[in-house]
Amino acid sequence: MGRAPYTPSYYAASAVAAPERPTLEGTVRADVCVVGGGLAGCSTALHLAERGMKVVLLEDNRIGWGASGRSGGQAIHGVAAGQAKLTRLIGASRARAVWDVSVEALALIRELIARFDIPCDWHDGYLLTAIKERHVRELKEEFDELRDHYDYRTLRLLPRDEVRAVVGSERYLAGLYDSYSGHLHPLNYTLGLAAGAESLGAQLFEGSRATDFGDAGGGKVRVRTARGEVHASQLVLCGNVYLGDTAPALAAKIMAVATYIVATEPLGRERAAQLIANNSAVCDMNWVLDYYRRSADDRLLFGGRVNYSGLKSFDAPAATRARMLRVFPQLSDVKVEYAWGGEVDITLNRAPHFGRLAPNVYFLQGFSGHGIALTGIAGKLVAEAIGGTAERFDVFARIPHANFPGGMALRRPALVLAMLYFRLKDLL
């Protein structure tokens, strides 16, 4: 009932076979109800089921339909806000705890892929690239900070010549390479987590939007859908920008930002290796950034054109292809076979937003572009909290978050004005 098909992306075209889950009908009871069938929701269901809890997951469309199944697929250390900002927000010791969780998140990806035999084309390596001299200085500062204060030893600073030996572009002045971060097929990874959760006893429903939730009495929460309802002791909201009116208090703290990706035709192994010799994921340091990687079948997946206005009046595939050719002009003869978009959930401070709306209602959102790794560990942390050990979850819950200014009507125009400033900064 009402479930939308997957966006026609390269990921959907190359996804593993996955069953259509049933729509919720009638009343079911559970220890925990999870809303949202993306990475955060599937990881939450998996880790709760692993603890022996009865879990029901509700997804509006298909598992992995949203950002989890459409993203750039880059699994990156840290959080989008950066460690310096986190230290200002919550202090040095808690900022270190967040950092440690982000590194554990990368280990958890590898562990879950191996444990549930998930065919998601994981590959080690992430390269952050400098376009301007100030970026080069910032890379050196980040390298020093992560090595000296966080004991992170998987980083290497690459000078210009070494970056150009890795990436077939004249655009970059330096790079910071991390051998512990990496990239994967995000839809297949999400589907693998869903199957893992089901193998542990979780029930997953598709085409079952959670329309509202409230007190069911006796310390229970009731979650309604169009055709049924779930009565549970605990609720975890993982719908991010798609929750909308289901949880308006959360919607005020995140903004949906559209981003776009194109996938070329298969290039062949030799030509693909000329673009990214070590098969790492690559991202630049601009505010409106480019991010790209090779696929398992030797395509280039290139993303980065963003739309803060909420309007759909421009040609996103053409704009994204133009950005790709600015980096790799040698691809001018190459066809784009897939082009798609999706929405990233950002917070005002770019830090993840975890917390509680009530003692038995948890939420996970605001991953701000670092969702591949952080969503998985977020599911583990909320499962720990529901299981009675909330210390690590509560470190994230202490990060302060403000509403986007201007209210629901004016906050997007305000953000567009702010983004104009940052786009101008990219040009300087």
Residues near 338 by beta carbon (within 8 Å), at least 6 away in sequence: 8, 9, 10, 13, 262, 263
pLDDT band at residue 406 using 50, 70 and 90 as cut-offs: low
**Low-confidence winner among 16-25, 233-242, 255-264 (lowest mean pLDDT):** 255-264
Residue 303 has pLDDT above 60, yes or no: yes
Residue 10, pLDDT above cutoff 70: yes
| Band of pLDDT at residue 94, cut at 50, 70 and 90 | very high
Portion of the chain with pLDDT greater than 70, in percent: 92
From CA 316, how far away is CA 307, in angstroms rounded?
9
Q: What is the mean pLDDT of residues 296-315?
A: 74
Q: Over 70: is that where the pLDDT of 315 sits? A: yes
Mean pLDDT across the stretch 206-219? 95
Phi, psi of 66, rounded to the nearest 5 degrees: -85, -145
Decide if 346 contacts 340 (C-beta within 8 A).
no
pLDDT number for residue 426? 47
CA 189 from chain center: how many Å? 12
Residue 376 three-state SS: helix
CA nearest to 58, candidates 231, 217, 192:
231
Q: Which pLDDT value is given to residue 407?
A: 54
Encode pLDDT of 239-261 as tens digits: 999 998 999 999 989 988 888 99
**Concatenated DSSP letters for 113-168?**
HHHTT--S--EEEEEEEE-SHHHHHHHHHHHHHHHHTT---SEEEE-HHHHHHHBS
Q: What is the mean pLDDT of the chain?
A: 92
What percentage of residues in the chain have a pLDDT greater than 90? Answer: 83
* pLDDT score at 405: 74
Round to whole Å and give the CA distance between 248 and 404: 13
**Structure confidence at residue 287 as a pLDDT band (50, 70, 90):** confident
pLDDT in tens, 36-60: 999 999 999 999 999 999 999 999 9
What would the mean pLDDT of 165-170 be, rounded to a whole number?
98
Overall average pLDDT of the 148-167 stretch: 97
Least confident span in 85-89, 127-131, 417-421: 417-421
Q: Between the CA of residue 350 and those of 59, 317, 332, 380, 394, what are the distances in Å?
A: 26, 26, 35, 21, 18
173 in Cβ contact with 32 (< 8 Å) = no
pTM of the model: 0.94
Mark 115-152 as b/e (b = at least 16 C-beta within 10 Å).
ebebebbbbbbbbbbbbeeebbebbeebbeebeeebeb
pLDDT, residue 2, reads 65
Please write the tens of the pLDDT for every residue from 332-359.
Answer: 999 999 999 988 889 999 999 999 999 9
